[in-house]
Amino acid sequence: MKKNILSYITLISLIISSCDKDTELLTIPEEIITEIANTAANAAANAVQSQIESALASNTANEPIVNSVPETIEHSGLITSNETWLNSSIHILVDKVVVTDGAILDIQEGTVIKGRASNTPEDASALVIARGGKIYAQGTESSPIIFTAESDNINVNQIGGENLTSNDFGLWGGLIILGKARISVDGDAIESQIEGIPAEDTFGLYGGVDDTDNSGVLKYVSIRHGGANIGEGNEINGLTCGGVGTGTSISNIEVYANQDDGIEMFGGKTNITNAIVWHVGDDGFDTDQGYSGTLNNLVYIRNNDSSATESGDHVMELDGAEGSYQASNPTFMTLSNITYKAGADEIADLRDGVRAKISNLYVFNINTGADIEIDETKGSANYDSGLILFEDFEFNIGTTRLTLDDIVLDKSGSSDIPIIQSDFSIVTNQSNGQGADTSVFTWTLAKQTSNLDF
């Protein structure tokens, strides 16, 4: 490109220098002048593009390239080919952004993604990974990926903004990952429509027959101020997993100030390790439709602030299969290494014939009304047959006069199956190794704001 410019300049110089002083200057055709100008402009643009590509290739993408990328980038609708979102910009979800079948969304560590508020509930912004799509959101301890509301004044290279509190919830939707693993729903359908997505939007379908399905990688991700309600009982969770398979890797997740549940699993078998949920409006960890994976190293912090408009419900709301699938495949979910900074909320509600093993639980700051319940006869039968297992629970009751009879309840109406109280202990101090390992959550907003103070 530079050679073309030089050749034109040389030609003009020769023409001018060859003319006598008395000779009339030669008129250069307009099309040649235009071609020279266009060639120069294209060369300049290519030079800028080359600088950007060179910076990215040399691994300097973490440093802003002056005047090369906009401060914010808006995203809307379907993603049908591979995309990469860089941390040098703030990314705005204008509405529902959907990674479709066959497409991959790669989000760089340290990226800030903000969801736009909508006056129409069903149009709430959200990031949806549809069946067959993949997300690779791989943050780090020093550079987590942050999903939050557009009104949050957080900027790039910051862990949190200064203008929103835990009372600022439902400002956008959330992160929804949908896969092809088995689910158990009424009528034994293979697939279903995820809650939080209007029925007419077919990208909201989840479920299938591939329990090893891979939807990508999610690690060191913080999700804040979401949970928009699109209808009665139809809210978006902080992180929703529908029919997600074991090929998907999810670890080091934080959910804060979500209007509905922190994390909800609809069927599937994917595992989640190291998850902290705090100051949400409903349940911390919710499972449904025969989910049979493992949730390990969990922290739930109730909002006990007197100004809180939402303080939460259950730490764990565990529902069983809706159809017959799990009955022919008697596996159960596992929840282990859990710490709950409590209040008056229920610790766990086990319903609808759920099959679950819960182990190494530590509850403190407990108050009247905080309990573990088996709610119906099918659940009691599962407990009696070993399909509900409680192992190694500690309740630090502080100055209350609560007893195990107050905390562990069989509300099924079945008096034939007593709860085995040797699985539970009343303590005044936490035993070594009891509950979650909270040292892995130093990267979170909860730790940075001293809400994780244990």
Residues 212 and 344 in one domain: yes
pLDDT of residue 234: 74
Nearest to 356 by CA among 400, 295, 423, 276: 295
Q: Provide φ and ψ at 42, rounded to 5°.
A: -65, -40
**HEC sequence for 233-277:** CCECCCEEEECCCCCCEEEEEEEECCCCCCEEEECCCCCEEEEEE
Q: CA 150, CA 155: separation in Å to the nearest integer?
A: 11
Residues 133 and 237 in one domain: yes
pLDDT tens digit string along 202-261? 999 999 999 999 999 999 999 999 999 876 667 799 999 999 999 999 999 999 999 999
Residues 15 and 140 in one domain: no
Residues of the chain with pLDDT under 50: 1-25, 34, 37-38, 41-42, 44-45, 48, 52, 60-61, 64-67, 415
Residues 44 and 157 in one domain: no
Where residue 398 falls (left for φ over 0; alpha for ψ -120 to 50; beta otherwise) is: left
Residues 174 and 206 in one domain: yes
Structure tokens, 94: 């204008």
How many domains are there within the chain?
2
Q: Are strands 216-224 and 192-193 parallel, antiparallel or unpaired?
A: unpaired
Does any domain span residue 276?
Answer: yes
- Looking at residue 423, the DSSP 8-state letter turns out to be G
Does any domain span residue 285?
Answer: yes
pLDDT of residue 409: 83
User: How big, in percent rounded to 5, are the helix, strand and coil portions of the chain?
Assistant: 15, 30, 50
Residues 33 and 92 in one domain: no
Residues 53 and 99 in one domain: no
pLDDT of residue 308: 65
pLDDT of residue 265: 98
Q: Which helix (H) or strand (E) holds 30?
A: helix 30-57
Alpha-carbon distances of 369 from 366, 392, 413, rounded to whole Å: 9, 21, 19
pLDDT tens digit string along 260-316? 999 999 999 999 999 999 999 999 999 999 999 999 999 999 987 766 666 678 899
pLDDT of residue 10: 46
Q: CA 55, CA 47: separation in Å to the nearest integer?
A: 12
pLDDT of residue 30: 58
Does any domain span residue 64?
Answer: no
Residues 316 and 420 in one domain: yes
Structural domain including 41 reads: 2-57
Residues 145 and 40 in one domain: no
Residues 40 and 92 in one domain: no
Does any domain span residue 454?
Answer: no
Q: Which helix (H) or strand (E) holds 35?
A: helix 30-57
Residues 52 and 97 in one domain: no
> What's the one-letter identity of residue 303?
N
Residues 53 and 133 in one domain: no
pLDDT of residue 69: 56
